[in-house]
Structure 1
Amino acid sequence: MQTFIEKMPKAELHVHLEGTLEPELSFALAKKNGIEMSYKTPQELIAAYDFHDLPSFLTIYYAGMNVLVEEDDFYQLTYAYLTKARSEETLYAELFFDPQAHTTRGIAFETIITGIHKAQVDAEQKLGIKSQLILCFLRDMSAESAMQHLDLAMPYLDWIVGVGLDSDERNNPPIKFAEVFAKAKKMGLKLTMHCDVNQNNTLTHINQCISEIQVDRIDHGINSLESEELCTLIKDKKLGLTVCPVSNQFVVQSLTSDEIHKMLDKDMLVTINSDDPAYFRAYLNENLVKLQKEGGFNQAQIVTLVANAFKVAWLDEVTKENYLNQLEDYVAQ
């Protein structure tokens, strides 16, 4: 089963580029940019990854970004992830990036997005992995800041497929960003929002995402299972759910395999993803393998989870069908 999973053609729809910053690259960039690290070795840094909830993770996550300064830093970050993903047979990825976390440090928006885009182009040409970019707004910053960054993105619309919403959900409901997301939709961008596991007012937030923001997808969204009405809405609208088992484990002490079984039973379009793999020490294959072991998923269920990612990807139907045919051929062989 592990070999079967590892060699499957896959797609990843929920991965934060800044969350793919491996300690070794972090130290190399810190040295290049003259930034003093709080830890002496990459191993010491990994030992400090002691997360027990979303805020404790975010504290270390944002501190780690300080080494990203120049265009080539963002290039290296992106190319390193895409290289790793392709080595795990990921053929397509949708990448989140958090520009506000960098512009607030004085890094130009152009620097960030140009470095990322150049790496995407090179990786597609040299490695055969296609990717698209999702601009994420930080929900613990103001809606005005989000709108400013949407405006900054306007010259680069050809490089961006959608917008998302991440960071600390507490007291930052989806509706706070209604105008920003309405404008993004008019600009032709796809919409997604994080509904993290076991947050305050989570069912209200999920409902706002679906009924008021009218998202095209929900990131995480495990708590929707607490409401049959929400499950029906998600299913009727064919909304994908991008679940991240290993990162969930830091919050709920399980890989949420029971919940994923329930979603499959309800024919919800649940997908498996890595979230912040450098910090949670698990890329997409590791997430799928660990989930399968904990939940006893059979081959057909694993294939469904992987196929769902291609089905809800923000791609044209011909490209989706091509990927799904590759998956079908792999399973048949």
Structure 2
Amino acid sequence: MVFLLFSAATSFAKTPLQPILPLLEAMPSDLHVTVPYLLSFVMADPLKMAMVSIENNLSPPETLQKLSESLTSLLPLLSQLADIIPRDALLWKLKLLKSGAAYANSRLHAVQAEVLFLASGKDNLLPSGEEADRLFKGLKNCRVRYFKENGHTLLLEDGVNLLSVIKGANMYRRGRQRDFVTDYLPPTLSEFKKTFDEDHKLFHLALSPVMMSTLTNGKIVRGLAGVPDQGPVLFVGYHALMGIELSPLYEEFLREKNTIVRGMAHPMLFGSKYETSRQESSRLDTVSMYGGLPVTPINMYRLFERNQYVLLYPGGAREALHRKVCLMSPYLY
């Protein structure tokens, strides 16, 4: 079992709104309509919420126009919240939240399931960062993904894709234990565009990588025409510099062959031993999202059995780091 937490309400007792909660109880029903507008200043970043529906390839004037329209469309929703959550219902929910948080905190020691906590750095409603520190230490199997530029309404804000976070943290599974071979989900089109058309765009422009392959007649051509259209295929590589060549390689195979190259990597990259309570999404998450898995003989065999493309760097971490570090692990030697 895997639990997903977002701005965990276990920190409800520390919310900055505690002093005004008694005022909500004393507030006349006629003034309840103002509550959503008051809370909107601390709950969310309206600009990031408005940017969710705006495409990234628009010109600046078009972006401003769409942003204005999106912000305008959000305003009527605030007044509707007062109708959706009447005063009595709001007070009941707050009391339920208080008692529920107290009970959950008293039972944290009994939680055995894996937990993925998404914490916001600019959460003005709950101290998500501090709660990430506490739960990371207090829970037995807790991993954190920290979004330092996002607010309380994390999943409603631009730039946050829950599926990508789950896949990057290796938390998606179909059974009791994660299977890196069968539980893998290929990147979606939106994930592909964000990775290669946005996040890595300048990086690829700076490198200007060129892919070459050899046809069966020995002719060297530009592109991947010389690569078989179907696996099993084993690619053996050499880490030129910290493995930065992986990103262009993944992109080219997806664009030209519409397939994923499953990269065999050091098992350390897929664990939580070296993660922190303020762990942000990193390049390691991208490696997992684009098919990386621990290098073991059985994993390689199972990939070949499924006719997949497999990428192996025999030199491993020592080759990638050019022998600059020495970690005490048998996988490095």
Bigger radius of gyration, 1 or 2? Answer: 2
State the TM-score, normalized to the length of structure 1.
0.24
- Choose between structure 1 and 2: higher helix proportion: 1
State the TM-score, normalized to the length of structure 2.
0.24
